[in-house]
Structure 1
Amino acid sequence: MTTPDDATILADTRHWIEKAVIGLNLCPFARSVYVKNQVRIVVSHARHLDAFLDELDHELDLLVNTPAEEVDTTLLVHPTLFQDFFVFNDFMNVVDDVVTEHELEGVIQVANFHPQFQFEGVEADDISNATNRAPYPTLHLLREESVERAVASDAGGAEKIVERNIATLRELGSAGWQTLLSKP
C-alpha cells in the first residue's frame, strides 16, 4: 500500500472535518475553532512508537504553551503506524500515561479516531462507530477548558451530543456516510 503524501492526508482530514464533523454537527463546537484557524493538523512520519511518542510530547507542550486564540486543539495524524484499530485503541493507555507524565490531567484530554473505530460491544459494521471514524488514525488533543465551555453551551450536554450523533448517523445510513465522505 502506498502512503499518501502530506497534502493528500491534510486534504482528506480537512474534508472529513468539513463534511462529517462540522457538516453533520457531530461536534457542535468544532465549527467555531475551525473557521478561526485554531485547529492544528500535524502529519506524523514517525517510524516507530517511540518517535511518535516524542511527537506527542512536543504537541502537548506546544498546545499548553500556545494561547487558545492561536491553537485551540491539535490533530496528530499518522497514516501508517496504526493500521490495526485494536492496537491503536490499546495504545490509548500509553497516551493517557503521557498526559499524566506531563501533569496535564484536567488540562488536556485526548480523543482517538480511526478508520476502523469500533465501540466496545458494538458490531464493526454498526453506523454508530462512524462518530469516531476518520480517514487516518488520529489523536485529537483538546483543551479541557474549551471542551467544558462548549459542552456547557450545548443545551443537552455531552450525553445528548452522543445520542444526537448516533441518531444522525442512523438516519444517514452507511451508504449516506460513504456518499458524504466521497470526493467529487
Structure 2
Amino acid sequence: MDEDPIAATRRWLQRAVIGLNLCPFAKAVQAKDQIRFVLSAATTTEQLLEELATELAWLNDTDPAVVDTTLLIHPQVLTDFYDYNDFLDQADAAIDALGLEGEIQVASFHPDYQFAGSDFDDVGNCTNRSPYPMLHLLREASVERAVAAFPDPDAIVDRNIETLEGLGVEGYRKLLEP
C-alpha cells in the first residue's frame, strides 16, 4: 500500500471495526476522539520495542478521558505475520517490565492475521486483520467496564463470524479500499 497508514487505519476503524460492529466498544471512544493513532518509524524490532515502551508509559500517564486507547501502527517492521506473532511475547514482557501488568494490555492486528488452527482464507481471521501491522494498547479498566456493560459479551465472536461469513474475505478486502 502506498497510502498514508493512519488514513487507511482510520478507514478500517470506521468501515470494519465500527461499521460492521466488530467491536461494539469502539464507537464510543471514537466518537469522543479518545483514540491515539501513532505511526511508528521503526525499521527493526528493537526500535519498535522502544516505541512501544514509550507509548505504554505515555498512555499510562495520560487521563483516560483524554486518550483511552492507542493504535501503534508499524508498517515497516514485522510485516511477516509469524514474526509479528512472535513479537507479542516481547510486547507482554515490556508491559511487565514497566509494571503495567493488569493496567494495559496489547491486542494484535495484522493484514495477514491468522488464528491458530485456521486456514489463511478463513473469514474469521478478518476480525483481526488491519491494513497495516499494529499493536492496540488498551486500558484494562476500560475493557472491564465495557464488557460489564455489554449484555452478552460472549456473543460478540459468534456475531462477528456471522457478519463476516455474509461478507466473505473478498467483500472484507473491498470494504477497506480507498
Q: Give your verdict on TM over 0.5.
A: yes
Q: Distance in 2 between matches of 1:151 and 1:161?
A: 10
Are the equivalent residues in 1 in contact too, given 2:74–2:132 (CA < 8 A)? yes
Equivalent AA in structure 2 for residue 97 of structure 1: A
Partner of 1:55: 51
Equivalent AA in structure 2 for residue 69 of structure 1: A
Equivalent AA in structure 2 for residue 103 of structure 1: G
Task: Give the alignment of 1:29-44 within 5 angstroms.
Answer: 29-44=25-40
The one of 151, 164, 167 equivalent to 1:172 is 167
**Runs of 4+ in structure 1 displaced over 4 angstroms?**
none
Greater Cα offset, 161-170 or 35-44: 161-170
Aligned length: 178
Q: Distance in 2 between matches of 1:50 and 1:22?
A: 32
Secondary structure at 1:145 match in 2? helix
TM-score (norm 2): 0.96
Q: Distance in 1 between matches of 2:25 and 2:49?
A: 28
Partner of 1:25: 21
Root-mean-square deviation over aligned CA pairs: 1.2
Identity percentage of aligned residues? 51
Equivalent AA in structure 2 for residue 62 of structure 1: W
Q: Distance in 2 between matches of 1:4 and 1:168?
A: 29
Are the equivalent residues in 1 in contact too, given 2:45–2:78 (CA < 8 A)? no
Gaps of at least 5 residues in structure 2 are none
Residue by residue over 1:20-64, the C-alpha shift from the partner in whole angstroms, topping out at 9 and shown as x without a partner, is 000000110101111111000100011212111111111001101
Are the equivalent residues in 1 in contact too, given 2:95–2:104 (CA < 8 A)? yes
Equivalent AA in structure 1 for residue 122 of structure 2: D
TM-score (norm 1): 0.93
Confirm or deny that 1:123 pairs with 2:110: no
Partner of 1:92: 88
Secondary structure at 1:70 match in 2? coil
Q: CA deviation at 1:4?
A: 3.8
Residue by residue over 1:125-168, the C-alpha shift from the partner in whole angstroms, topping out at 9 and shown as x without a partner, is 000000000000000000001111111111112x2211211111
